[in-house]
Structure 1
Amino acid sequence: MTSQYNECFRRFAGRMEKGIMIGIVVCAMALTVGEMLIQYAPTRLFLVETERLEGVSRLP
Structure 2
Amino acid sequence: MTSQYNERFRRFSERIEKGILIGIVVCAIVLIAGEFLIQYAPVRVLLIETEQLEGVLPIP
TM over 0.5: yes
Percent of aligned positions that are identical? 73
User: Where do 5+ consecutive residues of structure 2 fail to align?
Assistant: none
RMSD: 1.1
- More displaced, 23-32 or 47-56? 47-56
* CA distance in 2: counterparts of 1:22 and 1:9, whole angstroms: 20
Normalised by the size of structure 2, how large is the TM-score?
A: 0.87
CA offset digits 1:26-55 (Å, max 9, x no partner): 000000000000000000000111111224
Using structure 1 for the length normalisation, give the TM-score: 0.87
Match in the other structure for 1:34: 34
Q: Which runs of 5+ in 1 are unaligned?
A: none
Give aligned pairs, total. 56
